[in-house]
Amino acid sequence: MTKVRVHNFTMSLDGFVAGPLQDIDHPLGVRGEQLHEWAFATRTFRDMHEMHGGEVSIDDEIAAAARQNVGAHIIGRNMFGPIRGDWPDEAWTGWWGEDPPYHHPVFVLTHHARPSLEMQGGTIFHFVTDGIESALDRARDAAGSSDVMIGGGASTVRQFLAAGLIDEMHVAVVPVLLGDGERLFGGLPDIAEQYRFEPVIGSDAAAHFQLRRN
């Protein structure tokens, strides 16, 4: 059965999943890139971005699991790009260049309609204006027998958690203190009753938690 998953979602020790002041120069917020150094070092990440080398480790094994059996993604508009309000034009095509690393349909949550955008490598961005349930229905249809990945950012994941729509979630907690930014679990009082924790796997760079829906 198709699962709805979150994977490689990284949190600081003080509970932030993005730094403050996100903009085009700081898409992860100020100092937010420090959250993802555990993933940047892996062979999986470097292969995705056509770079050589990278570590083969427990972190790499966990990072690679995010690519297994995924047929569609759902992301928020903030993850697609820094533009707010109406689209001024169709010049912005995402952070990833002409060949984004998805290589399957990606459904972007937004309040402002825009035609679908076909990129190199099989990625097609579809812009969904009628909410998370509609995006999930379309993503499931596109994924077929494969899973749907909720790719972020934090607001998007919170919406799906609040609606009880996420089956599995991997969170990597890293030894970084950001002091400010965007939290993941704020405003979710029932989450402890809805999910159970699987055993923690640790490395020098991150502690990896798995949440599964009860």
125 is a domain residue: yes
Mean pLDDT, range 45-73, rounded to an integer? 87
Single pTM value for the model: 0.93
pLDDT at 114: 97
Listed range (59-63, 103-107, 117-121, 141-145) with the worst mean pLDDT? 59-63
pLDDT tens-digit series, residues 24-42: 888 888 998 999 999 888 9
- Do β-strands 168-174 and 207-213 pair in parallel, antiparallel, or remain unpaired? antiparallel
pLDDT at 187: 83
Mean pLDDT, range 151-176, rounded to an integer? 94
Q: Flag whether pLDDT at 83 surpasses 90.
A: no
CATH of the domain at 106: 3.40.430.10
pLDDT at 192: 84
212 is a domain residue: no
Mean pLDDT, range 76-83, rounded to an integer? 92
149 is a domain residue: yes
74 is a domain residue: yes
pLDDT tens-digit series, residues 90-112: 999 999 999 999 999 999 999 99
Contact 166, 4 (CB under 8 A): yes
Taking the C-alpha atoms of residue 80 and residue 143, their distance in angstroms, rounded to an integer, is 20
53 is a domain residue: yes
Number of domains in the chain: 1
185 is a domain residue: yes
Taking the C-alpha atoms of residue 160 and residue 209, their distance in angstroms, rounded to an integer, is 18
Contact 36, 178 (CB under 8 A): no
214 is a domain residue: no
pLDDT at 208: 95
pLDDT at 49: 73
22 is a domain residue: no
Q: Domain range holding 67?
A: 4-16+30-81+97-207
